[in-house]
Amino acid sequence: MVCLRQRLLLQLGCSGGIHKAYCHSNAVRVRFAPSPTGLLHLGGLRTALYNYFFAKSQKGSFILRIEDTDQTRIVPEAVRKLEKDLKWVGIVPDESDSVGGEYGPYLQSKRLDLYEKEVQTLLNNGSAYKCFCSDSRLNLIRKDAIKSGLVPKYDNKCRSLTNEQVEEKLKSNSKYCIRFKLSNHSESWQDLVYGNITYNVFNNEGDPVIIKSDGFPTYHFANVVDDHHMKISHVLRGVEWQISTTKHILIYRAFGWTPPKFAHLPLLLNLNGTKLSKRQGDMSVEAIRKSEIFPNALVNFVTNFGGGFHDHQRTATLHLYSMKDLIEKFDLSMLNENSCKVNPSHMKEFNRAELKRVMSSGTEEEVKGFDRDVEEAYNEEVSKPNAPNRQHLPQVCPRLVY
Ligand SMILES: [Zn+2]
């Protein structure tokens, strides 16, 4: 039986095997675009890995873009730590602020001129407008809506300001933001994981702010402008962004640009059903790295939920794969839609399985890297006379690892 997603890929003008479904493989460009607001956590790592697997399986490029336009939430050192975490699991971006690339800069705070230029296009073609509403007015609207049991939304008041009224307010130096004019219609688009999505944003939200009064763009605007200018072909991101995607598509249309293809990834949940968050320090990649978990054990652990691979027998036998194997086996059309609960205590089993994998079928490079890891982690033990050597590791591993 051809599943909905495979049908959809065929409809996109592709034929042949699933791996060949993305015909223009050279043109695949994906981005991982975190905000530097804290440590990389498991959900973020999984998004990065799926982007990486997809890019590499299609001989495409993986771009690391830092979305640092919310200056109030920036955590110092977050970018450096993020790059360290990615490198540790084996992700080396093809383009980033440190690596460089022809579509930079890759820090949004260095792209403000571009946003300023592009918002002018939308102001000129009537898709955007200046909003002079004060915070107190917006708060009042919010409170009134809540009192009446309605979802609070901006009432689009400044859409109807005349040019003269706008000029007057500008002359008196009134503070303003720029909003995008939502069109009132149901927009349909194809999610490569969830299938057809139809949504009327106008019915549910007021016109969104695209440039804040401090001159910085919002996420919705900057990610559209950057994805277009960085020639991003596929956007793979958490399903929490799915609700905003229709809005993003309307912005692409207002520019006359072709949107990329979207694939939303199901949520990772704690065992109690709550969303994994950056605030859970113990679930950060940094904390896991320091807790003697091997990088490839973590890679397998975090991508063990939610599908996405051919011949995936890991759940039955806990058979781990190398990064190279995971890239070969990755298939976007095999991702499933269900959110997955994560049990961190299973990570230890993955660690043992990783040890087994490297010792039985690891490449020379992997075995050497593994020796280095063990030496670093168990410095004292390894330097003792009669210390376990590589040949003994499978036997002594439970003692060494736990
Ligand atoms: Zn307004």
Residue 107 has a pLDDT of: 96
The DSSP string of 371-391 is HHHHHHHTHHHHHSTT---GG
The pairing of beta strand 209-211 with beta strand 261-265:
unpaired
Q: What is the pLDDT, as a whole number, of residue 342? A: 85
Q: HSE on the CB side for 135, CA within 13 Å?
A: 3
Candidate list 56, 247, 261, 278, residue with the active-site label: 278
Residue 3 has pLDDT above 50, yes or no: no
Q: Which residues, listed in sequence order, are joined to residue 30 by a DSSP beta bridge?
A: 62
Domain 25-269 class, CATH top level: alpha beta
Query: pLDDT-derived band of residue 8, with 50, 70 and 90 as boundaries?
Result: very low
Q: Does domain 292-383+392-401 have CATH number 1.20.120.1730?
A: no
C-alpha span between 164 and 172 (Å, rounded): 13
At residue 382, the pLDDT reads 57
Query: Which residue did the predictor score with more confidence, 314 or 99?
Result: 99
**Distance (Å, rounded) from C-alpha 104 to C-alpha 65?**
9
For the chain, how many residues are written? 402
In the predicted structure, residue 391 carries a pLDDT above the cut 60:
no
Q: What percent of the chain has pLDDT over 70?
A: 83
Q: What is the pLDDT of residues 201-250, one digit of tens each?
A: 999 999 999 999 999 999 999 999 999 999 999 999 999 999 999 999 99
The single-letter code of the amino acid at 355 is L
* Per-domain residue ranges of the chain: 25-269, 292-383+392-401
Pairing of strands 209-211, 195-199: unpaired
pLDDT digit string, tens, across residues 63-112: 999 999 888 888 889 999 999 999 999 999 999 999 999 999 999 999 99
Both tokens assigned to 97: 């602020």
Label residue 278 left, alpha or beta by phi (over 0 means left) and psi (-120 to 50 means alpha). Answer: alpha
pLDDT tens digits, residue range 249-293?
999 999 999 999 999 999 888 888 887 765 555 688 998 888 878
Mean pLDDT of 287-316: 81
Copy the structure tokens of residue 120: 């002018």
Confidence band of 358 (pLDDT split at 50, 70, 90): confident
Distance (angstroms) between ligand 1 centre and the Cα of 207 equals 9
For 110-118, what is the mean pLDDT? 97
Tens of pLDDT, residue by residue over 17-28, are 334 344 444 589
Residue 278 a catalytic site member: yes
pLDDT reported for residue 218: 95
At 2, the pLDDT band (50, 70, 90 cuts) reads: very low
Instruction: Kindly give the distance from the C-alpha atom of residue 174 to the centroid of ligand 1, in angstroms, as a whole number.
Output: 12
pLDDT at 381 over 70: no
**Tens digits of residue pLDDT in 46-63:** 999 999 999 999 999 999
Q: How confident is the model at residue 383 (pLDDT cuts 50, 70, 90)?
A: low
Mean pLDDT of 160-184: 97
Distance, in Å, from the CA atom of 188 to the CA atom of 56, rounded to the nearest integer, reads 29
- Taking ligand 1, which is a single-atom ion, which protein residues have CB atoms under 5 Å away? 131, 133, 157-158
pLDDT at 184: 95
Residue 283: per-residue pLDDT = 80
**Measured in angstroms, how far is the CA atom of residue 157 from the centroid of ligand 1?**
5
Nearest to 276 by CA among 39, 54, 15, 27: 39
CA of 154 to the centre of ligand 1 (A): 8
CA of 344 to the centre of ligand 1 (A): 47
The Å distance, Cα 151 to ligand 1 centre, comes to 18
Greater model confidence, 19 or 311: 311
Q: Tell how far the Cα of 137 is from the centroid of ligand 1, in angstroms.
A: 9
Most confident by average pLDDT, 248-252, 335-339, 355-359: 248-252
pLDDT surpassing 80 at residue 394:
no
116 Cα–ligand 1 center, Å: 19
High-pLDDT (> 90) share of the chain, % = 61
244 CA distance to ligand 1 centroid (A)? 21
pLDDT at position 364, please?
A: 87
What pLDDT, on a 0 to 100 scale, did the predictor assign at position 136? 95
- The separation between the first and the last C-alpha atoms of the chain, rounded to the nearest angstrom, is 45
- Least trusted range by pLDDT, from 69-83, 123-137, 294-308, 370-384: 370-384
Q: What is the pLDDT of residue 16?
A: 34
The mean predicted confidence, pLDDT, of the chain is 86
Q: For residue 351, is pLDDT > 90?
A: no
Strands 177-180 and 209-211: antiparallel
